[in-house]
Structure 1
């Protein structure tokens, strides 16, 4: 809980995240991830080695760029619905979260440079249903009940904050925020959008952010956009609500969610171009301090983003 009460990204410190963990493990490291569950990589020696190498690359990059590092747990799919499909118990899930946090604490101890590159330990939460086209929509109360277990584990095991990634509608976000608020842990909310810049639910990005803030007393520490190419959302970033966006984790690919879902090869785009697009977005998002990647991105893309935004 080193940074829980003083998240450096809220005070202007430039931070990186990692990139597309799942796509890197699958396409670059040939690690099988049933249901896109990255934590399953922890069950094999090859997966453990690949995960360690992956996170170490980003830790080294953060220090070299004199930026902080938001260290994500590989737990986007580590919640009850998905665990049931993977034939895992709640005790199994709890152990996954404990080990994920312990591993990142060790990474921080080995690589953090205090005062220059703060390493924030971030518990990752994913949606209860599909991250692109959910078949079931939860009410805020249902979402709070569903996500409370993960948030409790992150709180108990010492995460600095939690982030919900790839959310597709505002009610689930409200439930997650209320669960985090009940534990007193900071939370960031990352929505994904379709090629038209709207959430898969049809909500506009601005309306979703405003709805969550209104329902929770503006409890989220900040908002993010993830799992979409900058071309998909750059033209909707107008309005006072954009001041609440501090983070971006864009895709390298311009493909739609449907196209990405059907793809059997990796589209890793152009790292230099992605860096240029991030630099342009800093003019639209003046409070942007958290920059990373999502599907198809790896350390090359994050290095290019750091280079392109170094003077912004």
Structure 2
């Protein structure tokens, strides 16, 4: 059952950890084949299921050792209709996969036995390529599309819906409306290019304000993912009225652009220690940031380094 749907604990002042780059970790570090980055497809394979379970558990236990709350994103970033079609799945199989992904996280939550909150997030991804906005949907078209997953996740133990790697405001608005119609709180995580703007070209602050204004119910909070801190620190430093709406960061390990990452044949895992320092610096810059994890190229090492630097910062305060 959902525990925190009506009172998301990550809206307080305490720091929460989340996971890292599940898909790149599974492909480059664990050796799995993931067509279209559809991690949920591994749930049907005993070895793949065990790998996702272990990945979730090791991140949860890191949060437990640090005495921090934990948010885990289900392996459902690609478990939506268009991607399901590409993977040869019908709607019934997709529904079962979404439900199974949440059930797996429930099992880990019980095993990890955190004394701090363990929040289950039902993960939604973009309808198209996260790096390329392509033909933009209207907010209504996006709502219709994402309602499939939002309605299923609302009937599971998921505490909220989180849309990762959103690259344009209309799709983010559609996700927010789909979540609201399903009775779910939601978080929107935008990705940005090396200039700090969304792939659609819109400034990050404008996208956040537009989503807040146009959605029938504003998202609970916003995040940034799939970009290196070097790409957006100047935007956060400039700030604006929208800045306190940011709650979370899931940065890439690599400083490469999205285009460069698309062409890469090897994993750029960056420098975990450096990424930890950069996240701590951003926490000082934007005090509303309380949720920290990783994205492409990151794994447990990076989240551990981030947690360590945040801990040192808190002790020094």
TM-score normalised by L of structure 2: 0.96
- Does residue 2 of the first structure (1) align with residue 3 of the second (2)? yes
Q: Does the 8 Å CA contact 2:19/2:56 hold for their aligned counterparts?
A: yes
Aligned residue number for residue 173 of structure 2: 174
Q: Which residue in 2 is equivalent to 1:94?
A: 95
Task: After TM superposition, list the pairs within 5 Å mapping 1:16-165 onto structure 2.
Answer: 16-114=17-115, 117-165=116-164
Structure 1 residue runs without a partner (length 5+): none
1:271-290 map, 5 Å:
271-290=272-291
RMSD of the alignment, in Å?
A: 1.0
Per the TM alignment, residue 254 of structure 1 is displaced from its structure 2 partner at its CA by: 0.2
Query: CA offsets per residue over residues 125-151 of structure 1, 9 Å max, x none?
Result: 000000001322110000000000100
* Residue pair 1:249, 1:292 contacting (<8 A) in 2 also: yes
- Superposed displacement of residue 50, structure 1: 1.4
How many corresponding residue pairs?
Answer: 310
- Distance in 2 between the 1:195 and 1:172 partners? 21
Cα-to-partner distance string for 1:106-125 (whole Å, 9 max, x where unaligned): 111111323xx210010000
Distance 1:156 1:213 in 2: 25
Aligned partner of residue 228 in structure 1, secondary structure: coil
Gaps spanning 5+ residues in structure 2: where?
A: none
Distance across 1 between alignment mates of 2:57 and 2:198: 33
Q: Deviations over 1:160-179 (max 9, x none)?
A: 00100000000000010011
1:189 corresponding residue in structure 2: 188
- Indicate conservation of the 8 Å contact 2:176/2:217, yes or no: no
Distance in 1, Cα, partners of 2:286 & 2:270: 23
The two structures have a TM-score, normalised by structure 1, of 0.97
Distance in 2 between the 1:224 and 1:96 partners? 25
CA apart distance, 1:43: 2.4
**Separation in 2 of the partners of 1:170 and 1:301?**
29
Q: Structure 1 CA distance, aligned partners of 2:92 and 2:132? A: 29
Q: By how many angstroms is 1:98 displaced? A: 1.1
Deviation, 1:46, is 1.9
Instruction: List 4+ stretches of structure 1 deviating above 6 A.
Output: none
